[in-house]
Amino acid sequence: MRVMNDSDWHWADEVHQHFRDINIAQVAYVPDGGLANLINLCNGDETIRSVALTTEEEGVAQIAGAWLGGQRGAFLTQSGGVGNCVNMLSMVAECRIPFFAMVSMRGQWAETIPWQIPMGQATVPALRASGVIVHTAWSPQEVPEMVAACTQLAFEGGRAVAVVVSQRISATGERG
């Protein structure tokens, strides 16, 4: 393993290692700049099957199917796609399928694209209304520990859980 100094550190490195440590076997994602470093690490990892999706709700089905097939998975998406997942998330909640997602936010801190704002404001309420437990990381340093706690809640507690990565993280240069 390469030794990193502080200027090389990125939260995605620790999250990817955590995914390996807890045997995440599948990662479903829609390409996203906010999670690009993590997506790239998963794509380059021969122990993780990475699946690029054409629409976000496919990710919910992919990760639920992984669990039903005996594997752990993670769903990576941008906030704008959460609205596409509401119906599928209700199935995860009703069937008590352990589910873990990471959501990179838009429509928050320093947003410059007006049409990102409505879903950005609705993302957390939509997740919660769908039965998903939501925790928000406001700084890059919070992400790895939050992911560890939330994957434990998902896989050992049998819950649907999402870590929301604030747009402020990307606005301060942490977006990949």
Q: What is the pLDDT of residue 6?
A: 56
DSSP letters, 34-90, are: TTHHHHHHHHT-TTSEEEE-SSHHHHHHHHHHHHHTT-EEEEEEEGGGGGGGHHHHH
Please say whether the beta carbons of 132 and 89 come within 8 A. yes
* Amino acid 108: pLDDT: 81
Give the chain's end-to-end CA distance (angstroms, integer): 21
Number of other residues whose CB lies within 10 A of the CB of residue 9: 13
Query: pLDDT in tens for each of the 176 residues of the chain?
Result: 344 455 578 999 999 999 999 999 999 999 988 999 999 999 999 999 999 999 999 999 999 999 999 999 999 999 999 999 999 999 998 999 999 999 999 878 777 788 888 788 999 999 999 999 999 999 999 999 999 999 999 999 999 999 999 988 865 544 33
Residue-level pLDDT at 112: 74
Pairing of strands 24-29, 160-165: unpaired
Task: Identify the pLDDT of residue 98.
Answer: 97
101 and 75 Cβ atoms separated by less than 8 Å:
yes
Would you identify the CATH topology of the domain 6-174?
Rossmann fold (3.40.50)
List CB contacts of 97: < 8 A, sequence separation 6 or more: 64, 67, 68, 91, 160
pLDDT of res. 125 = 96
The encoded tokens of residue 88 equal 């599928």
